[in-house]
């Protein structure tokens, strides 16, 4: 009987100590999570839609604003069209056409220029030959080439490029005497050329369709 009473006293003492430790708040307890039905709804903020960079990244800085709509139409009609590659090709064509004209290479001009432009070059070559003049010109450098305009009408695409270049030009007579120009002093030239092509045609070449001075 004594042991039963003693064990009861020990159990009571332990229960009291347990209550003192677990039954009182100390101020450092972590709050229990609320049941799902008592929780405040979580507001999910919509993520902003990121739009890619527009024309400056797509076309570069050598594109005039007025040309952008036409270039977009050309790209949409022929997705394989690369604007920067076209601009590089236009510079090569500029050099080739000038050199063909200076040397009187009509065959080269035939596939680089459209008929009316080629005819104008051929007429100038004939006039030069009749006068007995020959050209010893050299394209020193193309300082800048920029697309200034672009249009698409049906499948007919036209792109206008401004070329700022330095050219050394010499004209000689029948006897080889210099009658104009100098190979040591380059002259600044500013040309505006328009290239044309029918999109999705079997001919991938752009031809010179118009020339003008800036």
Under DSSP, is residue 162 helix (H, G, I), strand (E, B) or coil? strand
Distance CA 48, CA 119 (A): 57
- Classify residue 18: in a domain, yes or no: no
- CA 123/CA 134 separation, integer angstroms: 15
What is the per-residue pLDDT across 91-117, written as a single tens digit (0 to 9) for each? 999 999 999 999 999 999 999 999 999
Question: What tens digit of pLDDT does each residue of 185-204 get?
Answer: 899 999 999 999 999 999 88
Q: Is residue 34 part of a domain?
A: no
> For residue 182, is it within any domain?
yes
Q: What is the CATH number of the domain that holds 202?
A: 3.10.450.240
Structural domains in the chain (count): 1
Residue 39 lies in a domain: no
Distance of alpha carbon 68 from alpha carbon 159, whole angstroms? 11
**Whole-number CA gyration radius for the chain:** 41
Is 28 within the bounds of a domain? no
Full residue range of the structural domain in which residue 70 is found: 62-213
Q: Measured between alpha carbons, how far is 155 from 196 in angstroms, rounded to an integer?
A: 10
Angle, CA of 166, 70 and 68, to the nearest 5°: 70
């Amino acid at each position: 009987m004594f042991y039963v009473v003693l064990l009861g006293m020990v159990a009571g003492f332990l229960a009291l100590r347990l209550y003192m430790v677990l039954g009182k708040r100390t101020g450092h307890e972590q709050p229990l999570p609320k049941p799902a039905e008592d929780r405040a709804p979580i507001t999910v903020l919509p993520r902003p839609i990121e739009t890619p960079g527009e024309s400056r990244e797509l076309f570069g800085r050598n594109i005039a604003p007025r040309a952008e709509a036409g270039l977009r139409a050309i790209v949409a009609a022929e997705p394989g069209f690369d604007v920067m590659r076209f601009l590089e090709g236009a510079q090569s064509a500029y050099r080739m056409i000038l050199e063909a004209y200076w040397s009187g290479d009509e065959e080269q001009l035939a596939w680089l220029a459209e008929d009316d432009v080629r005819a104008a070059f051929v007429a100038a070559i004939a006039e030069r030959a009749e006068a007995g003049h020959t050209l010893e010109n050299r394209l020193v450098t193309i300082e800048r080439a920029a697309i200034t305009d672009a249009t698409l009408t049906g499948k007919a695409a036209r792109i206008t490029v401004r070329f700022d270049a330095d050219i050394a030009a010499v004209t000689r007579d029948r006897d080889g005497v210099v009658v104009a120009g100098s190979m040591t002093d380059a002259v600044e030239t500013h040309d505006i050329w328009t290239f044309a092509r029918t999109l999705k045609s079997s001919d991938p070449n752009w031809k010179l369709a118009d020339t003008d001075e800036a």
